[in-house]
Structure 1
Amino acid sequence: MKKILRYILLFILFAFVVIQFINRPEKISEPVTDNDIILSLNIDDEIAAMLKTSCYDCHSDQPRYPWYSNVAPLSWWIGDHIEHGRDELNFSLWGTYTARRRDHKLEEVVELVEKREMPLPNYLPMHKDAELSDEQIEKLRNWANAERANIAAETEN
């Protein structure tokens, strides 16, 4: 029985080592452009810091990769999160979005942050700094609503 258990453990260790070399997700690190939401809207430092800390890892072309993002299968899971997050909303491409899409995305940001669905609850244990306080949520809501008003005024003209 001990021999079988030893072989199973060796097989698991071997498999773990082998998967480190299989299908490694591409790490994204693009330079910031004028299309980035912070630059295109000239966002104040406080809101910019909130977005960078709580949103940019999954919703921009400048994610921060923690050490464990190099270890499969976590690397696959993190890569998948980033891919899906960027497909849904990419703050690095904000300047390329239509006014209608920007308005809708800001509406979704407020809704998901208020419900505390964003940042994702499973993201927060390893990224305590990403958790938004009630005060920060209120500031983010006020900022997003002001931007939505700007978009509405822009489309009326």
Structure 2
Amino acid sequence: MKKILRYILLFVFFAFVVIQFIKRPEKINEPVTDNDIIGLLNVDKEIAAMLKASCYDCHSNQPRYPWYANVAPLNWWIGDHIEHGRDELNFSLWGTFTARRRDHKLEEMVEMVEKREMPLPNYLPMHKEAKLSDEQIEKLRKWANAERANIAAETETEN
């Protein structure tokens, strides 16, 4: 029995080493552009800090990759999360969104944060700084609603 267990452990270790050389997900970390939400909307420091701590790792082109993002299979999982997050909302591309899309994304963002679906619950144990307090959620909600009002005023003057 010990011999079988030793072979199983050896096989698992060998498989773990081999998968480290399988294609790694591309790490994207681009410079901040004029289309980024923080610069474009002149977001105040407190809201900007919340967005960066709680959202930017998955919803921007400036994620912070932790050390374990270099270890397969975790890097595949993290890469998939980031890719999916950017597909849903990429704050780095905010300036390319239509007014209607910006309004909808702000509405969705508030809804997801209030329901505590964002940041993802499985992200929080390793990223304590990303957890939003009730007070922070309220500030984010007020900020997003003010931005939505600005969007509505913009589109009203355009028509």
Q: With structure 2 as the length reference, what TM-score do the two structures score?
A: 0.98
Deviation at 1:3, TM superposition (A): 1.3
Alignment of 1:112-127 (within 5 A): 112-127=112-127
- CA distances 1:4-47 after superposition (whole Å, capped 9, x unpaired): 11111111000000001112010011000010000110000000
Task: Letter of the 1:63 partner, please give it.
Answer: P
- Measure, in 1, the Cα distance between the counterparts of 2:52 and 2:90: 12
- Measure, in 2, the Cα distance between the counterparts of 1:25 and 1:139: 35
Query: How many residues in Structure 1 have an aligned counterpart in Structure 2?
Result: 157
Residue 134 of structure 1 aligns with which residue? 134
Runs of 4 or more, structure 1, over 4 Å off, are none
CA RMSD of aligned residues (A): 0.5
Alignment of 1:41-80 (within 5 A): 41-80=41-80
Residue 15 of structure 1 aligns with which residue? 15
Task: Letter of the 1:12 partner, please give it.
Answer: V
Residue 107 of structure 2 aligns with which residue? 107
Residue 5 of structure 1 aligns with which residue? 5
- Measure, in 1, the Cα distance between the counterparts of 2:4 and 2:138: 58
Q: With structure 1 as the length reference, what TM-score do the two structures score?
A: 0.99
- Measure, in 2, the Cα distance between the counterparts of 1:134 and 1:2: 53
Task: Letter of the 2:126 partner, please give it.
Answer: M
Deviation at 1:2, TM superposition (A): 1.3
